[in-house]
Amino acid sequence: MRNLWRFISNYNAFFLFLIFEVASLVIYIKNNSYQRAGFINSANNVAGGFYEKINGLYAYLSLKDVNDSLARENAHLRNLLKTSYYVDTVTRQKVSDTVYNQQYEYIVARVINNSVNRANNYLTINKGSKQGIATGMGVICSKGIVGKVIFVSDHFALVQSLLHKDSQFSAMLASTKEIGSLAWGEDMDPHKAVLKEVSNNAQPKLGEWVVTSGYSLFPEGIPIGKISSLRIKGGGYSLNMGITLSVDFSKLEYVNVVYNKFAKEQNALEAQQKKDE
């Protein structure tokens, strides 16, 4: 016992240090929630670190199984994707054109196939006869005209783009309403078209808007493009001019199919006249 006392008094600095250090640490940890949490955390850091290392090893061994299951899950999820579903709701917007007392309806469709760099370009849209689309309808988009429907299936329709050798639409100069006929240019540039057969009296200016005339599939006044060059060919009865198209055909995404309510009647009437000739 005496030896113990002597030992303690010899090393009294250390024992006093221990007593006061423990006291202050107890105060510290009791009073600071962060250190209290941190104490447990730092203990966990060590154990957690080991667990993580071991887990990394296990994970490496089971890579193949994980890979297979991920691929399966991917396929499953892809099946659930919105794009793999067919959207069968149809949006129709009605536009009353009171001046011509004519009614157009627009059917929204998404372009699911498109080309711009061939001699004859077509695009496929995801609406078909079930949604009311018929052959011969015009197709426009927010920036201008796109083409016309040439084939229809139940759920899809094939659109002959403006960028097609046989495409020809009635157009006019926006300011003077001089009528011409719009076709794709010979140099197959997807941004250029040609306005032909404009009357000699017209005085087109560079940069002037060319719009639809209302005589063909489209309502009047839908923009087509701006005059980019005036080519007076041969000095005949008509003027030809180059047009920069306002629609970027390579970036088409959503289009509106124009449903002209009186198209059938008009066609029937005109067909009768042809028959008569």
Residues making contact with other proteins (CB under 8 A): 12-14, 16-17, 19-21, 23-32, 34-35, 38-39, 41-42, 45
21 vs 270 by CB, closer to other proteins: 21
Residues 156 and 133: their CA atoms lie apart, in Å, by: 9
Residues 11 and 254: their CA atoms lie apart, in Å, by: 88
Residues 243 and 224: their CA atoms lie apart, in Å, by: 8
Would you list the DSSP string of 56-74? HHHHHHTHHHHHHHHHHHH
Burial 56-76 (b: 16+ CB within 10 A, else e): eeeeeeeeeeeeeeeeeeeee
39 vs 100 by CB, closer to other proteins: 39
Q: Count the helices and strands in the chain (H runs, E runs).
A: 5, 13
Q: How far is the CB of 56 from other proteins (least distance, A)?
A: 20
- Cβ-contact 46, 52 below 8 angstroms: no
Nearest by Cα to 180 from 205, 212, 156: 212
Q: How far is the CB of 30 from other proteins (least distance, A)?
A: 8
36 vs 130 by CB, closer to other proteins: 36
Residues composing the chain: 277
Would you list the DSSP string of 82-103? GGGSPP----EEEEEETTTTEE
CA distances from 276 to 115, 263, 269, 271, 273 (A): 40, 20, 11, 9, 5
